[in-house]
Amino acid sequence: MITFYKTINGAVTETQELSAGCWVSVVDPDAQEIKMLIEDYGLDSGFVKSALDEEESSRIEREDDQTLIIVDTPVSSVDDEETLLFYTLPIGIIITENYVFTISLKSTRIVSEAVNGSIRNLRTNLKTRFVLQLLLRIITLFLIYLKQIDKISSSAEQELHDAMKNKLIMQLLELEKSLVYFSTSLKANEATIEKIYRGRVIKLYDEDQDLLEDVLIEIKQAIEMSNIYSRILSSMMDAFASVISNNLNIVMWRLTVITIIMAIPTMVYSFYGMNTKDLPLPYTWFPMLVSLIMTTIVGGFLLKYKKK
């Protein structure tokens, strides 16, 4: 789907025609739309294919009068088992002489926020500043999702005593994997933004320097947060393994105690059930009394041993 947007009266507004200063949002284009981007709008075919490659890494490249910036943006979803997943998806930003194109395989939060006005003072005609504001918001989304991951892991920590739940363990495993994705993507994005900061690929204006510095500060903070949360979650998973092992030992101990206690009356009554003569005190009450006494003694011994 190809949609045109332009800043009109201070708000990003959808337009029906393409004009200078427009932002073109491209989401999951079909073959006909890809052909239109290349032939009608003159985009480099290699740039378009790279932007639609799900495995493409973050980078910046210039070809003639077009500049391609590929950055990873965070995405969240819920699977069939209601486990919250976090991953990254590359989004391509192509800057031409008159337009800015954003191309992605799926609809992302960054596009919807740019459209609904969540990004303040967004001006599509100021191409460099527009791109930097998108980059800043992408890094902010990383920080938002990292805080969500921290909240989920903190909530899971409170349920640590109930660690026999597989769903809780799978959620933590997914969070740990998400942090690896985030950390890798953030480092790649940092390298791309540092290339922009050097000003060799995109022409930077004096008023954009502060914004770009903010982007670099935010991405370094996100990388540090990702590393910290990753270490915390790794320690928590080790704690989970210890709790699970301890819970299993407690369950096995209880089963062992029950088995031993139930075996005592069985042994006594089996002895008195033998078809032999001269059994001591062959009365019904005697094996019952012996079983009760032996069970009490063994049970008390096991409880005392457990306290030690």
Rounded distance between C-alpha atoms, residue 249 and residue 257, angstroms: 12
Judgement on whether residues 148 and 284 belong to the same structural domain of the protein: no
> What's the pLDDT at 305?
67
Judgement on whether residues 284 and 180 belong to the same structural domain of the protein: no
Q: pLDDT tens across 162-212, in order?
A: 555 667 777 777 888 888 888 888 888 888 888 777 766 677 766 777 787
pLDDT of 65 higher than 70? yes
Q: Whole domain around residue 277: which residue ranges?
A: 247-307
Q: Which of 246, 274, 292 is the last residue of a domain?
A: 246
Amino acid identity for residue 142 in this structure: F
CATH number of the domain residue 227 falls in: 3.30.460.20
**Containing H/E element for 50?**
helix 45-51
Q: pLDDT tens across 77-114, in order?
A: 877 666 778 888 888 888 888 888 888 888 888 888 88
Judgement on whether residues 259 and 123 belong to the same structural domain of the protein: no
Q: In what side-by-side order are the strands of the sheet with 84-95?
A: 11-15, 2-8, 23-27, 100-104, 84-95, 66-78, 59-63
Number of independent structural domains in the chain: 2
Judgement on whether residues 141 and 273 belong to the same structural domain of the protein: no
Q: Which of 223, 246, 269 is the last residue of a domain?
A: 246
Judgement on whether residues 241 and 259 belong to the same structural domain of the protein: no
Judgement on whether residues 225 and 254 belong to the same structural domain of the protein: no
Judgement on whether residues 207 and 258 belong to the same structural domain of the protein: no
- 128 within 8 A of 202, measured Cβ to Cβ: yes
- SS3 call for 22: coil
Judgement on whether residues 30 and 64 belong to the same structural domain of the protein: yes
Q: pLDDT tens across 249-296, in order?
A: 878 878 887 887 788 787 777 777 766 666 676 666 777 787 788 888
> What's the pLDDT at 115?
80
Judgement on whether residues 65 and 139 belong to the same structural domain of the protein: yes
pLDDT over 70 percentage in the chain: 88
Rounded distance between C-alpha atoms, residue 92 and residue 52, angstroms: 8
**Containing H/E element for 100?**
strand 100-104
- 18 within 8 A of 58, measured Cβ to Cβ: no
Question: Of 226, 179, 188, 178, which is closest to residue 56 (Cα–Cα)?
Answer: 188
Judgement on whether residues 86 and 228 belong to the same structural domain of the protein: yes
The pTM assigned to this predicted structure is: 0.72
Pairing outcome for strands 23-27 and 100-104: parallel
**Containing H/E element for 302?**
helix 285-307
Task: Compute CA 265 distance to the chain's CA centroid, rounded to the nearest angstrom.
Answer: 55
Across all residues in the chain, what is the average pLDDT?
A: 79
**pLDDT band, very low/low/confident/very high, at 241 (cuts 50, 70, 90):** confident
Judgement on whether residues 284 and 156 belong to the same structural domain of the protein: no
Judgement on whether residues 182 and 297 belong to the same structural domain of the protein: no
- SS3 call for 68: strand
**pLDDT band, very low/low/confident/very high, at 66 (cuts 50, 70, 90):** confident
Read off the DSSP letter of residue 106: S
pLDDT of 308 higher than 60? no
Distances (CA, A) of 58 to 130, 182, 195, 198, 276: 19, 12, 11, 17, 87
